């Protein structure tokens, strides 16, 4: 297979918030996940429903207990960068000194914006030492979750409380295939420890292959809690149908 180089533009993400104060009761299993947050860039994803079943979670309720960094501005506090593919730009939030998230350039009040289950986010941790953040929620029970990718870039992750196997039996992709990284649809998975991406492309056999290690289809997974980028080369829209793996 032909191998071609590509420069991937990256940014970073941060998160922390308060848990809702009014009781919300769940008919399904609830749990939590502790995220280890390195200093700098962390690409994470929301794999849980809100307790009560909603698939959209308020940014203020995204994280439970946390020791992220508060500050008076975007460049001193921990930040969340959420990519908006409709405009090709980030919505940026910072953790102000009152422990609430504020949208950059729209920060008269704490944000009321939400994050969808299966959405990826950059978490930028300003602290010099690693931190932790706890995501609390309800285990999704829907049989299938479908994500659509328009031409261009989008952030995503598993829509269930389990890893997402790129070539796994519970995923069905509608993707633009090609013979190289720069002609096929791609997936970029950020390794926060290495500070680099692992890159995959959709070859002409409609399987995902790791760039520079593409003798066979990859068995790699996007870990639970991790986010990734989807690069749709076009001309057709792409889609991920993920079946409940448990």
Q: Do the domains at 30-138 and 144-243 have one common CATH topology?
A: yes
Q: What is the mean pLDDT of residues 28-50?
A: 91
Protein fold of 144-243: Jelly Rolls (2.60.120)
> What residue segments make up the domains of the chain, in order of their start?
30-138, 144-243
27 pLDDT tier (thresholds 50, 70, 90): low
Residue 21 pLDDT > 70: no
For the segment 170-195, the average pLDDT, to the nearest whole number, is 95
**For the residues 20-46, what does the mean pLDDT come to?**
76
Residue 7 has pLDDT above 50, yes or no: no
Q: What is the pLDDT of residue 23?
A: 40
Backbone angles phi, psi at 231, to 5 degrees: -110, 110
For residue 64, what pLDDT is reported?
Answer: 67
pLDDT of residue 65: 59
Average pLDDT estimate for 79-106: 95
Give the model confidence (pLDDT) of 62-73 as tens digits. Answer: 886 578 999 999
Report the top-level CATH class of 30-138.
mainly beta
pLDDT at 169 exceeding the cut of 70 = yes
Question: What is the mean pLDDT of the segment spanning 3-29?
Answer: 37
Q: What is the mean pLDDT of the chain?
A: 87
- 140-159 pLDDT per residue, tens: 999 999 999 999 999 999 99
């Amino acid at each position: 297979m032909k191998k071609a180089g590509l420069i991937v533009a990256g940014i970073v993400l941060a998160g922390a918030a308060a848990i809702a104060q009014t009781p919300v009761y769940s008919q399904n299993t609830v749990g939590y996940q502790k995220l280890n947050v390195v200093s700098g860039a962390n690409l994470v994803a929301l794999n849980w429903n809100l307790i009560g079943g909603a698939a959209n979670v308020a940014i203020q309720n995204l994280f439970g207990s946390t020791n992220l960094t508060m500050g008076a501005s975007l460049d001193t506090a921990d930040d969340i960068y959420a990519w908006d593919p409709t405009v090709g730009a980030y919505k940026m939030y910072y953790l102000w000194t009152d422990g609430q998230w504020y949208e950059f350039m729209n920060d008269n009040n704490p944000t009321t914006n939400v994050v969808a289950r299966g959405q990826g986010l950059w978490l930028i941790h300003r602290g010099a030492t690693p931190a932790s953040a706890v995501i609390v929620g309800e285990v999704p029970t829907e049989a299938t979750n479908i994500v659509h990718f328009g031409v261009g870039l989008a952030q995503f992750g598993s829509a269930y409380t389990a890893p997402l196997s790129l070539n796994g039996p519970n995923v069905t992709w509608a993707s633009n295939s090609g013979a190289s990284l720069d002609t096929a649809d791609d997936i970029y998975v950020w390794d926060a420890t290495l500070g680099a991406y692992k890159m995959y492309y959709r070859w002409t056999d409609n399987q995902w292959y790791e760039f520079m290690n593409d003798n066979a289809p990859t068995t790699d997974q996007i870990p639970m809690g991790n986010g990734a980028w989807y690069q749709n080369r076009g001309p057709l829209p792409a889609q991920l149908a993920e079946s409940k793996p448990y």
